[in-house]
Amino acid sequence: MEKKWWKNAVVYQCYPKSFQDSNEDGIGDIQGIIERLDYLQDLGIDVLWICPVYQSPMDDNGYDISDYYHVDESFGTDEDLDRLIGEAGKRGIRILMDLVVNHTSDEHVWFREALQDPGSEYADYYIFKEGVDGGPPNNWRSHFGGSAWEKAGDNRYYLHAFSKKQPDLNWENPKLREEIYKMINYWLDKGLGGFRIDAISNIKKNFQAVTFEPDGEDGMCFVGKGIANQAGIEVFLSELKERTFQPHNSMTVAEANVPEELLDHFIGENGFFSMVFDFSYADIDIPQTGEWYKPTNWTLQDLKRNMFHSQLETQKRGWGALYLENHDQPRSLNKYLPEGDINQYSTTMLASLFMLLRGTPFIYQGQEIGMSNILMDSMDDYNDPATKDQYQRAVNSGMSSEQAFELAGRRSRDNSRTPMQWSDEKNAGFSGAESTWLKVNKNYPEINVASELKNEDSVLNFYKKLIQLRKSGKYKNILTEGTFVPEETEDQNIIAYRRVSAEGEILAIHNYQNKESKMVLDGSGSWDKIFSNYGEMRTEGNHIILRAYEALALHCTDNCK
Ligand code: NOJ
């Protein structure tokens, strides 16, 4: 098998709870995914990442695992999962599972034992500390709000970077690490393509600085300060790789906001992972402290700068994972486009901007048909614990409930977790149940797979063409290996870049605005149009005329500067 087989892959991310329900209980399941494999094969993807399907009380929709070895009943059976791996394989699709090893569920048997008996060996699988002055050990605030410590006895607290039902594991304990490696190898031996690895930069904790300066109205400080990318993490990550992924030649994509100086270790030639997700332009709309209710005033120039910077820094070191959406983000159309400008052109322009970059693209379910954010009626409609927390924090900071609802909703993770829109039938073809676990977006009669398959100019067919382009004989190597080179443009609202390899050069141009513009094209070279989302390309002398939100890709056939 080729060593870096994942470089030319296109990945599709599936949120099983919302993809396809096969047994009419309103919740998506593994059999449902199997039924949609032909669709995914036709789309042209090579790898399918499925969010966690392990046994879980579902406090955080499966990111709270109570048994790493078995499938949760709501998703089906262990045999269903084996069948999914086999059926996907027959279609040339490899499965990536989610690996959640920063924490377990508080209902995992290890934690139950640890809680019950502080003297048990399992107590050392987690992080317990003594409280201070009648309160928690320090002022760390969890990702989902409130103290990152939960009381577990008289003056005994345990650490949870996420919800209190997600206690953090103690990676300092070699016995725990062995348990984790055994579990990972169990799954890899089943023939998985690899893993998407959750919250992995948090596994090393630093308790030297106990209490930090508060960074919020609650007097607390973001837990990341004490647990993200702490010195010594590299020892755990090398061991993890050597004992598991490396011998299997797995694809690994880490959810890790890595500081530039550490990037080499993460994604360099002998890095810990195949690639990492970078947050620099996904989180452009919120402050680093993660408060959704304090949206930033980002501009197109910020987006361009962050995107280019991320491309340039990543290519200096290794390989990157590209994404516009995932299950933790709102829909990209609502994030990256002005409200009145969401249409066929702007949607396909975003698709092109993203799909021609250097790295492995991850397409999130529904992104390929242009799904958008949902308008909920009240806070009761939300399921996501983070949305509820952000709403509360906004209210606590003095905002009106209407404003807090609007701002928490705009960024809510439930925007991307609504059921997949397959058709204009009941529940968008997702489920035959009376109601679904999360509301279906009301726009499904217009935005759905069935109608887009019939329309040659649909967003879905545009995505298909982009995927094919990355795989086609002619452009494959340029779009895989080609260096990313920013293209200077006079009009700053055009985002253009080249992909340059020994085999040729592609120029990708995106007129990121709702008005016509133009760009000078070097007259001495000769360029072939690969595509425009408007169909024909317009030129005037040595200028290209770009219509509102036009995306244009050109192939240099001779002497281009
Ligand atoms: C990141 C996952 O993507 C998110 O959905 C989850 O809530 C946290 N990690 C905790 O596991």
Q: Is 433 exposed, middle or buried (0-12, 13-18, 19+ CB in 10 A)?
A: middle
Nearest atom, ligand 1, residue 102 CA: 11
| Domain of 484, in residue numbers | 480-558
In terms of domains, do 422 and 514 share one? Answer: no
Regarding whether 405 and 290 lie in a shared domain, the answer is yes
Number of domains within the chain = 3
Ligand 1 pocket, residue 60 CB under 6 Å: yes
How confident is the prediction along the chain (561 residues), in pLDDT tens digits per residue?
Answer: 567 999 999 999 999 999 999 999 999 999 999 999 999 999 999 999 999 999 999 999 999 999 999 999 999 999 999 999 999 999 999 999 999 999 999 999 999 999 999 999 999 999 999 999 999 999 999 999 899 999 998 999 999 999 999 999 999 999 999 999 999 999 999 999 999 999 999 999 998 867 889 988 889 999 999 999 999 999 999 999 999 999 999 999 999 989 999 999 999 989 999 999 989 999 999 998 788 999 999 999 999 999 999 999 999 999 999 999 999 999 999 999 999 999 999 999 999 999 999 999 999 999 999 999 999 999 999 999 999 999 999 999 999 999 999 999 999 999 999 999 999 999 999 999 999 999 999 999 999 999 999 999 999 999 999 999 999 889 999 999 999 999 999 999 999 999 999 999 999 999 999 999 999 987 677 889 999 999 999 999 889 999 999 999 999 987 776
Residue 233 inside a domain? The answer is no
196 domain-assigned? no
The domain boundary, picked from 119, 142, 159, lies at: 159
Q: Which residues contact 135 (CB under 8 A, 6 or more apart)?
A: none
Give the C-alpha distances (Å, rounded to integers) separating 135 from 157, 168, 394: 9, 19, 24
How far, in Å, from the CA of 56 to the mean position of ligand 1?
Answer: 14
Q: How many angstroms does the Cα of residue 165 sit away from the middle of ligand 1?
A: 13
CA 426 – ligand 1 centroid, Å: 30
- Does residue 199 line the site of ligand 1, with CB under 6 A? yes
Measured in angstroms, how far is the CA atom of residue 557 from the centroid of ligand 1?
45
Which of 406, 437, 466 is where one domain is finished? 466
518/540 Cα distance (integer angstroms)? 9
Nearest CA, atom 3, ligand 1: 328
pLDDT at 56: 98
Q: Ligand 1 atom 2: the closest Cα is on which residue?
A: 198
Do 394 and 527 lie in one domain? The reply is: no
Question: Which ligand 1 atom sits closest to the C-alpha of 162?
Answer: 10
134 & 78 share domain: no
Helices (H), 443-546: 449-454, 459-471, 476-481
Same domain? 88 vs 27: yes
pLDDT in tens, 460-469: 999 999 999 9
The answer to whether residues 546 and 494 touch, using CB atoms and an 8 Å cutoff, is yes
pLDDT at residue 207 in the model? 85
Mutate to test the pocket of ligand 1, among 15, 59, 60 (most ligand atoms within 8 A of CB): 60
Q: Is residue 211 part of a domain?
A: no
Q: How far is residue 494's CA from residue 547's CA, in Å, rounded to a whole number?
A: 11
Could you tell me if 339 and 406 lie in one domain? yes
- Give the residue, by CA position, lying nearest to ligand 1 atom 6: 63
Identify the residue whose C-alpha is closest to ligand 1 atom 5.
Answer: 328
Minimal-distance CA residue to ligand 1 atom 4: 328
- Asked if 385 and 508 sit in the same domain, the reply is no
Q: Where do the H-state alpha helices sit in 101-189? A: 109-116, 174-188
Q: Which residues are catalytic?
A: 198, 255
Which ligand 1 atom is nearest residue 144's CA? Answer: 7
Per-residue pLDDT at 1: 52
414 lines ligand 1 (CB under 6 A): no
CATH number at residue 121: 3.90.400.10
pLDDT at 2 (0 to 100): 67
Last residue of a domain, one of 159, 185, 201: 159
Atom number of ligand 1 nearest to Cα 326: 3
Which atom of ligand 1 is nearest the CA belonging to 255?
A: 1
Cα(58) to centroid(ligand 1), Å: 12
Ligand 1 pocket test: pick from 63, 164, 411 the residue with the most ligand atoms within 8 Å of its Cβ: 63
Whether residue 446 sits in one domain with residue 364: yes
Q: Is residue 219 part of a domain?
A: no
Radius of gyration of the chain (CA): 24
529 lies in some domain: yes
Instruction: Find the CATH number of the domain harbouring 398.
Output: 3.20.20.80
CA atoms within 13 A on the CB side of 402: 0
Pairing, β 194-197 against β 251-255: parallel
d(CA 354, CA 369): 15
Task: Return the pLDDT at 38.
Answer: 98
Does residue 139 sit within a domain? Answer: yes
* C-alpha 197 – ligand 1 centre gap (Å): 10
For residue 140, give the amino acid letter.
W
Q: Which ligand 1 atom sits nearest the alpha carbon of residue 64?
A: 11
162 lines ligand 1 (CB under 6 A): yes
Question: Helix, strand, coil % (nearest 5) of the chain?
Answer: 35, 20, 45
Taking the centre of ligand 1 as the mean of its atom positions, its distance from the CA of residue 270, in whole angstroms, is 26
CA 52–ligand 1 middle distance (angstroms): 10
- Which positions ≥6 away from 448 have C-beta within 8 Å? 369, 421, 422, 423, 424, 428, 429
Q: Which residues contact 264 (CB under 8 A, 6 or more apart)?
A: 271, 317, 318
| 174 within some domain | no
Both 325 and 447 in one domain: the answer is yes
Instruction: Please report which residue ranges of 52-199 form alpha helices under DSSP H.
Output: 78-90, 109-116, 174-188
The response to whether residue 552 sits with its C-beta less than 6 Å from ligand 1 reads no
Atom of ligand 1 nearest to the CA of 63: 11
Model pTM? 0.97
| 515 CA to centre of own chain | 31
Q: Distance, CA 222 to ligand 1 centroid (Å)?
A: 16
53, part of any domain = yes
Q: Is the CB of 328 under 6 A from ligand 1?
A: yes
385 CA distance to ligand 1 centroid (A)? Answer: 11
Q: Is 198 in the pocket of ligand 1 (CB under 6 A)?
A: yes
Q: Residue 95 has what pLDDT?
A: 98
Domain co-membership, 27 together with 144? no
At 523 the pLDDT is 67
Q: Whose CA is nearest to atom 11 of ligand 1?
A: 63
Q: Are residues 117 and 92 in the same domain?
A: no
Whether 436 and 551 share a structural domain:
no
Pocket test for ligand 1, best of 64, 103, 162, 414 (most atoms within 8 A of CB): 162
